[in-house]
Amino acid sequence: MTWDALYSSAFDRVRESIGRVGRVLLAYNTNIDAIKYLDPKDLEERVEKAGKEEVFRFSEELPKKITSVEHLLGGILWSVRRGKAAELFVESCLVRFYMKKWGWDELRMGGQVGIMANLLGGVYNVPVIAHVPQLSRLQAELFKDGPIYVPKLEDGKLKLVHPKAFQADEENLIHYIYEFPRGFKVFDFEAPRENRFIGSADDYNPNVCIRPEFKEAFEEIAGKVELAIISGLQALTKENYKEPFEELERHLEVLGEREIPVHLEFAFTPDETVRKRLVEVLGRFTSVGLNEVELASIMEVLGEKAIAEKLLAHDPVDPIAVTEATLKLAERTGVKRIHFHTYGYYLALTDYKGAHVRDALLFAALAAAAKAKLGDVRSIDDVVKAMDVPVNEKAKAVEEKLVEEYGMKDGIAEVNGYQLSFAPTKIVAKPKSTVGIGDTISSSAFVGEFALR
Ligand code: 8BR
Ligand code: 8BR
Ligand code: GLC
């Protein structure tokens, strides 16, 4: 079959069956994204004013957190020069005030949980229970209508309400997203690809502050769901990870007892201690989603330096190196499903078989293209509009390698007793923005796969 035909039949089948998926638990990170599309002249003036020399220093080496305007501007230049994403915690209130005055073009739902809640609940009509660390009025307004719920305790009794009906006046947790297009020029730098720098002016998500409702009523909450997706552990550090990890392990135990499949959305985790701990608990998850940088960073902590280097050496990433890395990760941790995504293609390694794994990847690729094209996916019909985005040309060579090495057919092969599923993706030439595409991919594929089972 051609990829166009496979795409089209995968979409039809997921659309037909996704309504049958039960409630999905989403924890832990939700915030408000204040998106600023950078203007080169404005940015240059700000850098000059703050002191070019000092700022340029941080554009060579990213600071660990932001405690000055020089850190902020240096971090933005670090991302622009490399065309890479980065996210840093903003500790200083003066810098938080500076960012607020600098302003934004658009406010959007942010955080893996918030983005997935709006997509699953607001677009696919799959009911979700979300962890929202702080429910300000603005945060509540950013939730779409649909079966999206947050737990509320009334006289010790658990109720599930839409975030807009929670009616609390909690804090605004704002992440400032500085987006730039490919070819964006400042000073002598030119961005090799579109991307963003994020400054998180937020004390709750970076510390994974878990709400009392989730601590007190977790057993009951877990009793109401069929699937779970965990995210937001990426900003933890060796100083603050212990407490949230204890709670996480308790949650995993409760979910495990009920045999609820749990997906971990990995996200780039700069702190090595935290990354190691995440790999240690990975076997208690059913599934994990990650990109090439994240997979390479895991190979590093597993002592697999050579594979880590291979993963970062080519564009598009060598699929044989990806397969070897995911096999190592599956064998070492016992995780049953690994969903790898990169610019141009996805691979999933599963310890079970079936064409539905590949079909869910194709559905996810359509959703990602719709997200890149529109910025916000409003309905499942927006997803099908991405059908006319062409399949990435470079993915052909990737597929040929997989055919040669593993005898892959129609995107499916067997490797060391695992199934390897492949999807060449649709790439939007001029994406509206880049933030949240990874979340769209992982949640669509994980939930889509369960819909098809
Ligand atoms: P993409 O650019 O393809 O989205 O991949 C994630 C990138 O983010 C990685 O290259 C990683 O280096 C970078 N990154 C992030 Br996110 N946060 C970072 C941080 N705090 N320090 C260094 N790099 C970071
Ligand atoms: P991460 O931020 O987790 O790396 O997720 C980003 C993913 O979005 C990439 O792996 C890539 O598959 C997808 N993507 C990007 Br980046 N740009 C895209 C585009 N213009 N069209 C479709 N998918 C895109
Ligand atoms: C991280 C950021 C958040 C953003 C999300 C997108 O969670 O903190 O601001 O919305 O990534 O994936």
Domains of the chain: residue spans and CATH: 3-30+111-140+205-452 (3.40.1190.20), 33-109+173-201 (3.30.1110.20)
Q: At residue 435, does pLDDT exceed 90? A: no
Alpha helix stretches (DSSP H) within 92-237? 93-102, 112-117, 137-141, 163-166, 212-216, 218-222
Q: Are strands 174-180 and 157-161 parallel, antiparallel or unpaired?
A: unpaired
Q: Which atom of ligand 3 is nearest to the CA of 31?
A: 9
Q: Which of 11-20, 156-165, 428-437 has the lowest mean pLDDT?
A: 428-437
Tell me, using a 6 A CB cutoff, whether residue 40 lines ligand 1: no
Q: Which residues pair with 154 in a beta bridge?
A: 157
**Count of other CB atoms within 10 angstroms of residue 336:** 17
- Which residues are within 8 A (CB) of 376 and not within 5 positions of it... i.e. 6 or more apart? 108
- Ligand 1, pocket-test mutation among 268, 269, 272, most atoms within 8 A of CB: 268
- Ligand 2, pocket-test mutation among 264, 343, 430, 443, most atoms within 8 A of CB: 343
Tell me, using a 6 A CB cutoff, whether residue 62 lines ligand 1: yes
Mean pLDDT calculated for residue range 442-453: 97
pLDDT value of residue 276:
98
pLDDT value of residue 364:
98
243-252 confidence digits (pLDDT tens): 999 999 999 9
Q: Which residues pair with 34 in a beta bridge?
A: 107, 176
Report CA(57)–ligand 2 centroid distance (Å).
Answer: 29
Backbone φ and ψ for 187, nearest 5 degrees, come out as: 50, -125
The chain-wide mean pLDDT, for the chain, equals: 97
Report CA(267)–ligand 1 centroid distance (Å).
Answer: 9
Nearest CA owner, ligand 2 atom 6: 438
Tell me, using a 6 A CB cutoff, whether residue 436 lines ligand 2: no
Mean pLDDT calculated for residue range 85-96: 97
Mean pLDDT calculated for residue range 138-156: 96
Mean pLDDT calculated for residue range 384-407: 96
Tell me, using a 6 A CB cutoff, whether residue 84 lines ligand 1: yes
Amino acid at 27: A
Nearest CA owner, ligand 1 atom 7: 85
pLDDT value of residue 400:
98
Q: For the chain, what's the residue count? A: 453
Mean pLDDT calculated for residue range 21-28: 98
| Residue that has been written with the tokens 């638990």 in this structure | 25
330-364 confidence digits (pLDDT tens): 999 999 999 999 999 999 999 999 999 999 999 99
Tell me, using a 6 A CB cutoff, whether residue 29 lines ligand 3: yes
Q: Are strands 345-350 and 262-265 parallel, antiparallel or unpaired?
A: unpaired
State the Cα–Cα distance between residues 261 and 73, nearest whole angstrom.
41
Q: Which residues pair with 180 in a beta bridge?
A: 195
- Ligand at minimal distance from the CA of 176 is 3
Percentage of residues in the chain having pLDDT higher than 90? 96
Report CA(51)–ligand 3 centroid distance (Å).
Answer: 29
Q: Are strands 106-110 and 31-37 parallel, antiparallel or unpaired?
A: antiparallel
Report CA(86)–ligand 1 centroid distance (Å).
Answer: 4
How many helical (H) and strand (E) elements, i.e. helices and strands, does the chain have? 19, 18
Q: Cα 264 to the chain's mean position, in Å?
A: 10
Q: Report which of 273, 319, 270, 263 is spatially closest to residue 292, judged by C-alpha positions.
A: 319
Q: Is there a contact between 392 and 427 (Cβ–Cβ < 8 Å)?
A: yes
Query: Is 169 tagged catalytic?
Result: no
Q: At residue 205, does pLDDT exceed 90? A: yes
Q: Got the DSSP string for 190-215? A: E-SS-EEEEEEE-SSTTTTPPPHHHH
pLDDT value of residue 163:
98
State the Cα–Cα distance between residues 283 and 267, nearest whole angstrom.
17
State the Cα–Cα distance between residues 431 and 433, nearest whole angstrom.
5
Tell me, using a 6 A CB cutoff, whether residue 439 lines ligand 3: yes
Q: At residue 255, does pLDDT exceed 90? A: yes
Q: Report which of 142, 128, 123 is spatially closest to residue 383, judged by C-alpha positions.
A: 123
- Ligand 3, pocket-test mutation among 30, 35, 87, most atoms within 8 A of CB: 87
pLDDT value of residue 59:
97
pLDDT value of residue 1:
87
Q: Report which of 82, 310, 110 is spatially closest to residue 199, judged by C-alpha positions.
A: 110
**Torsion angle in degrees (nearest 10) through CA of 433, 434, 438, 444:** 20
**Band of residue 309 on the pLDDT scale cut at 50, 70, 90:** very high
- Which residues are within 8 A (CB) of 60 and not within 5 positions of it... i.e. 6 or more apart? 78
**Band of residue 325 on the pLDDT scale cut at 50, 70, 90:** very high
State the Cα–Cα distance between residues 68 and 351, nearest whole angstrom.
48
Tell me, using a 6 A CB cutoff, whether residue 82 lines ligand 1: no
320 is written with which tokens? 């044989």
Q: At residue 295, does pLDDT exceed 90? A: yes
Mean pLDDT calculated for residue range 87-104: 98
pLDDT value of residue 265:
98
Tell me, using a 6 A CB cutoff, whether residue 343 lines ligand 1: no
State the Cα–Cα distance between residues 118 and 110, nearest whole angstrom.
10
- Which residues are within 8 A (CB) of 220 and not within 5 positions of it... i.e. 6 or more apart? 158
- Using CA atoms, how far residue 86 sits from 36, 63, 220, 270, in Å, is 15, 11, 37, 10
pLDDT value of residue 283:
97
- Which residues are within 8 A (CB) of 453 and not within 5 positions of it... i.e. 6 or more apart? 354, 356
Q: Report which of 72, 68, 118 is spatially closest to residue 94, judged by C-alpha positions.
A: 68
Report CA(322)–ligand 1 centroid distance (Å).
Answer: 19
Q: Which atom of ligand 3 is nearest to the CA of 232?
A: 7
pLDDT value of residue 229:
98
* Residues 55, 60, 62: CA angle, nearest 5 degrees: 80
Tell me, using a 6 A CB cutoff, whether residue 312 lines ligand 1: no
pLDDT value of residue 440:
97
**Torsion angle in degrees (nearest 10) through CA of 199, 201, 204, 207:** 50
Mean pLDDT calculated for residue range 142-168: 96
pLDDT value of residue 332:
97
pLDDT value of residue 434:
81
Sign for the pseudo-dihedral over CA of 445, 448, 449, 450: positive
Alpha helix stretches (DSSP H) within 338-435? 355-374, 380-385, 395-406
Q: Is there a contact between 185 and 159 (Cβ–Cβ < 8 Å)?
A: no
Tell me, using a 6 A CB cutoff, whether residue 369 lines ligand 2: yes
Mean pLDDT calculated for residue range 268-277: 97
- Ligand 3, pocket-test mutation among 435, 440, 441, 443, most atoms within 8 A of CB: 435
Percentage of residues in the chain having pLDDT higher than 70? 100
Tell me, using a 6 A CB cutoff, whether residue 433 lines ligand 3: no
Q: Which atom of ligand 1 is nearest to the CA of 64?
A: 20
Tell me the pTM: 0.96
